[in-house]
Amino acid sequence: MRASQFFISTLKEAPADADIVSQKLMLRAGFIRKVAAGVYNWMPMGLRSLRKVESIVREEMNRAGAIEIVMPMVQPAGLWQETGRFDGMGPELLRFKDRHERDFVIQPTSEEVVTDIARNELRSYRALPKNFYQIQTKFRDERRPRFGVMRGREFTMKDAYSFDRSAEDAGKSYDNMYATYCRIFDRLGLTYRAVAADTGAIGGDRSHEFQVIADTGEDAIVYCPASDYAANIELAEAVAPAGERPAASQPLTKVHTPGVKTIADLVRFLNIDITATVKALVVEGEEEGSAVLMLVRGDHELNELKAEKIAGIKRPLTMATPALINKAFGANPGSLGPVGFKGRIIADRTVAKMADFVIGANEDDQHYTGANFVRDCVEPEVADIRNVVVGDASPDGKGELAIQRGIEVGHVFYLGTKYSQAMDATFLDEDGKPKHFEMGCYGIGVTRILGAAIEQNFDDKGMIWPDSIAPFNVVICPVGYDRSEAVKAAADQLYGELQAKGVDVIIDDRGERPGAMFADWELIGAPHRVTIGDRGLKEGKVEYQHRRDSEATAVAAGEILAHLL
């Protein structure tokens, strides 16, 4: 590629609304441009890296025996009604009507459509196992799109779905995908950890997230340095064995909260003077539109979240569903045990040891409409709130727990027959009887990977790409390309030779001043740079610099090709 024929558009400063390094650098380096909240143009430079991620994912999926298909972004509501997700999924699912007033969705994931394919096409056990995957645009109307492509609304996901005869076979498909994900993230050159993840309503213990380790990650991972125990903190908190929870000595009180729509309303309703003695955690529930508010005494190490701040939260208070409460607190809502919780803490990730109230409510379930559960906790028993603290014993008994942050870039999930039953998707087994498919689903956040890779690889000058996904692997920077015949000849020759060897090379023939040219390529993060100038050429030398090197090294012009290969 010749830079003069390509499109390079770098910025000195990142737009003011960019929050984290990867987002700032992707904008500055001209990888992406924002179109709307969570919706981006992939500019030519960024698209090159994106395509490389896609092809690594594709190669490894193919190698694993998965079969590529493409399912439509626009999907009819009917299929989504069969599983109950058209109504059940909440506002993340983008719904719309066509000109005939028929309902459609834009796929946030594709279990329904792929299960429909399976029930139409996979008639006999002889057709199994099968694993269909696609690399396709998804849309999720995220409550808080942020961090650039990391939490977009429109994004690219690789989603795969396995169909098996038996749970045992489905386990093999799962293991195959788990191993494939390890290969993919190894090839991408990322530092990651596979962690046990929550299986939500589906249950079972077969769900792992692949988390790229980064301080800016939105997830917290609990792990044991002395063993291979690792879990998403959500899971570690949610799965405290019931036996470890002290029995509830006080039943949960159900209170009516007419007119309570926001957390500020609730605070007013409960008439709690939270400025004085109580700090609060606002916990977002796992299910869309749900939240649990946890008010915590002020004498613990929590980030300050004063009443004024809480009052500023305009989010509707739909709070936790009974299922969520059950799961979080390990009991039926009438007899909540002292508590752990499920969800994402917005205000602070530290779970306090002492809570005054735990409140949950639900809008959908008529049993519960307009009601909140308030458990007035007395101190000694509340001290047993389940949470994970650094230094706690690891559940495998092999050491102490540590916590680090991660970015969820992949997720493998055993689904069982949840979808095949809901959609009555069956195959004829060897005994001639119809059986429901045993399924698994496996996602990779293809666009998110680029953000995650940058969060792990940058310095004050810009990005530092691993060779596997750099937009260009080698950049030739001729100093005086438009003025010096010798420089032009040497640069063109090297460019031709590298191209002939299949190296992904760009020659910067734009005629930029050296300072600006180097700054661009440091920002863009091309791993290998060759600088060719008159001064060096007189001594038969060019300069090589890896993006991680602090200085360039002189290399004999005749040896640079071998040096790069």
Helices then strands, counting H and E runs in the chain, come out as: 17, 29
Within residues 156-195, the interface with ligand ATP by CB under 6 A covers: 157
214/238 Cα distance (integer angstroms): 23
Within residues 66-125, the interface with ligand ATP by CB under 6 A covers: 109
For Mg ion, which is the closer residue by CB, 450 or 532? 450
For Mg ion, which is the closer residue by CB, 411 or 418? 411
For Mg ion, which is the closer residue by CB, 180 or 426? 180
Number of residues in contact with Mg ion under rule CB under 5 A: 2
Closest CB to ligand ATP belongs to which residue? Answer: 445
- The answer to whether 151 contacts Mg ion (rule: CB under 5 A) is no
The site string for ligand ATP over 430-449 (x = CB under 6 A, - otherwise) reads -------------x-x-xx-
Bridge partners, residue 95, by sequence? 105
Which amino acid, 564? L
Compute the least distance from the CB of residue 30 to Mg ion, in Å.
28
Pick what 448 binds: ligand ATP, Mg ion, none; C-beta below 5 to 8 Å, kind-dependent. Answer: ligand ATP
User: DSSP letters along 324-376, please?
Assistant: HHHHHHTS-GGGPPS----SEESS-SPPPS-EEEEEEE-SS-TTTTTEEEE--
Compute the least distance from the CB of residue 190 to Mg ion, in Å.
17
Among 114, 160, 409, 470, the residue binding ligand ATP under the rule CB under 6 A is 409
For Mg ion, which is the closer residue by CB, 384 or 408? 408
The site string for ligand ATP over 115-154 (x = CB under 6 A, - otherwise) reads -------------------------x-x--------xx--
Bridge partners, residue 45, by sequence? none
- The answer to whether 388 contacts ligand ATP (rule: CB under 6 A) is no
Pick what 445 binds: ligand ATP, Mg ion, none; C-beta below 5 to 8 Å, kind-dependent. Answer: ligand ATP
Within residues 391-410, the interface with Mg ion by CB under 5 A covers: 408
Compute the least distance from the CB of residue 278 to ligand ATP, in Å.
29
For ligand ATP, which is the closer residue by CB, 52 or 411? 411
Q: Name residues whose C-beta falls within 8 Å of residue 416's C-beta, 6 or more positions apart in sequence.
A: 167, 170, 202, 204, 438, 439
Residue 88: exposure state from Cβ atoms within 10 A (0-12, 13-18, ≥19): middle
Strands (E), 51-206: 67-68, 74-76, 94-97, 103-106, 130-139, 154-164, 192-196
Task: Report the length, in residues, of the chain.
Answer: 565
434/436 Cα distance (integer angstroms): 7
- Indicate the DSSP class of residue 4: G
Among 31, 155, 223, 414, the residue binding ligand ATP under the rule CB under 6 A is 155
Task: Report which secondary-structure segment, H or E, holds 31.
Answer: none
Pick what 152 binds: Mg ion, ligand ATP, none; C-beta below 5 to 8 Å, kind-dependent. Answer: ligand ATP
Q: How far is CA 122 from the centre of its chain?
A: 31
Bridge partners, residue 444, by sequence? 158, 410
133/159 Cα distance (integer angstroms): 5
Compute the least distance from the CB of residue 142 to ligand ATP, in Å.
5
Identify the residue whose tokens are 């438009």. Answer: 482
Compute the least distance from the CB of residue 349 to ligand ATP, in Å.
15
For ligand ATP, which is the closer residue by CB, 408 or 543? 408
For ligand ATP, which is the closer residue by CB, 152 or 462? 152
Within residues 409-438, the interface with Mg ion by CB under 5 A covers: 411
Task: Give the 3-state secondary structure of 380-422.
Answer: HHHCCCCCCCCCCECCCCCCECEEEEEEEEEEEEEEECHHHHH
Number of residues in contact with ligand ATP under rule CB under 6 A: 15
Compute the least distance from the CB of residue 343 to ligand ATP, in Å.
12
Pick what 409 binds: Mg ion, ligand ATP, none; C-beta below 5 to 8 Å, kind-dependent. Answer: ligand ATP
* 477's tokens: 């920077």
371/318 Cα distance (integer angstroms): 10
Pick what 410 binds: ligand ATP, Mg ion, none; C-beta below 5 to 8 Å, kind-dependent. Answer: ligand ATP
Closest CB to Mg ion belongs to which residue? Answer: 411
- The answer to whether 410 contacts ligand ATP (rule: CB under 6 A) is yes
Compute the least distance from the CB of residue 208 to ligand ATP, in Å.
11
Is it true that the peptide bond before 527 is cis, omega within 30 degrees of 0? no
Residue 67: exposure state from Cβ atoms within 10 A (0-12, 13-18, ≥19): exposed
Compute the least distance from the CB of residue 152 to ligand ATP, in Å.
4
Compute the least distance from the CB of residue 450 to ligand ATP, in Å.
10
Q: Which residues bind Mg ion (CB under 5 A)?
A: 408, 411
Q: Which residues bind ligand ATP (CB under 6 A)?
A: 109, 140, 142, 151-152, 155, 157, 408-411, 443, 445, 447-448
